[in-house]
Amino acid sequence: MIAGYLIRYYQRTQLTQAACDRWSRRLKITCLVYLIPPVVVIAIIQRPLSGANVLAMGAIGVTCLLCGALLGRIYIAIRRMPPRQAGAFLGCASMANVFSFGGLIVFSFWQNDGLQQLYLFELFKHFLYFGVFYPWCATFGRALGQKRSSLIGSFRAYPITLIPIGAVVIGLVMNFVIHEVNALSVTLPDWLMSVNGIFVPLHVGLLTFAVGLTLRPSRISSYWLECMAVNVIAFVARPAITAGAAMACLALGWIDMLGFRAAILLAAMPVAFNSLIPPALYDLDMDLANSCWICSTVVMLIMVPGMYMFAGIG
């Protein structure tokens, strides 16, 4: 991100600034088309989509993300935000950085047992991101004109978003074939499982560099209300609601104490890298998205010691 920002900072002419914006958009679309689909497929096929523990943690993850989206939509209505700002804010409120930052934290606290809970928690994440949140953000974009209530219209206006959705469908079919159709006796090769070890860091690296190309720190003060609202949703409301759902599942014996603690920590994650793609794709307010991403990430870093104490290993 710093490298991208320095390029923009030292190229201050209007022409080169416009070029930085174009390249940022191209890099984000590259991630959407070429890097995200294989990551999605491999993540989905790793574990069977059955069993009380699996479905319970997956449902908790869905509850977490949907509550963020709904609270974000309520805030948009209360503030009567302009469409370009509303679409960018909705993406920031909906999508949490569960995999990158969340994966790092739970692995640091609980090693592979923590990662197991992470994979279950984000079981249905990709379907929500690309099948619900992306087209929902698109309804605020300019290309749809006055048809802002049409989710289907967003796919016609931006057919490129069908690529990751197709990856979700392929992953679900492959998961069923691999884990449920026992007669095939399919064994996943070791090299396939290591692909995400390359693609995920590359995806994160390209996105953060793309963020730097459009970063304007001076604009953050213009969106301090939105940044505060995102932080309240991310670190107060979303973990609280998730804790309620996780506590119910714990009482029913569907998850254990590790799953309960991991769910609450994963719910308290900052704005996701994926939330920075809709503004570039749908011509939404990029400065607002960047500001919310930076502020929520800083707050998360400050909260890490508290997360460590909550994990019960201090």
Q: pTM of the predicted model, to two decimals?
A: 0.84
Residue-level pLDDT at 136: 92
- Long-range CB contacts (< 8 A, 24+ apart) of 142-148? 142/83, 142/84, 142/282, 142/283, 143/282, 143/283, 148/83
**Residues of the domain holding 287:** 2-310
The domain tally of the chain equals 1
The rounded distance, in Å, linking the Cα atoms of 94 and 312 is 28
Amino acid 137: pLDDT: 92
> For each of the chain's 314 residues, which pLDDT tens digit applies?
889 888 888 876 766 778 888 898 899 889 888 988 888 888 778 777 777 788 899 999 999 999 999 999 999 999 999 999 999 999 999 999 998 788 888 888 887 788 778 888 988 888 899 889 999 998 898 655 544 455 666 667 777 878 888 888 898 888 888 877 755 555 667 777 677 778 878 887 888 898 888 888 878 889 999 999 999 999 999 999 999 999 999 999 999 999 999 999 999 999 998 898 999 888 899 999 999 999 999 999 999 888 888 877 54
Cα-to-chain-centroid distance, residue 107: 18
Backbone angles phi, psi at 96, to 5 degrees: -110, 150
pLDDT score, position 281: 87
Q: Cα separation of 20 and 28, whole Å?
A: 12
CATH label of the domain that carries residue 289: 1.20.1530
Chain center to CA of 292: 13
**Which of 77, 131, 96, 90 has its CA nearest to residue 239?**
96
Give the Cα separation of 50 and 55 in Å (integer). 6
Residue 74: the pLDDT is: 97
Tell me what pLDDT residue 251 has: 95
Residues with Cβ within 8 Å of 74's Cβ and at least 6 positions away in sequence, in order, are none
Confidence at residue 174, expressed as pLDDT on a 0 to 100 scale: 86
Residue 144 has a pLDDT of 53
pLDDT recorded at residue 161:
78
What residue type is 216 in one-letter code? R
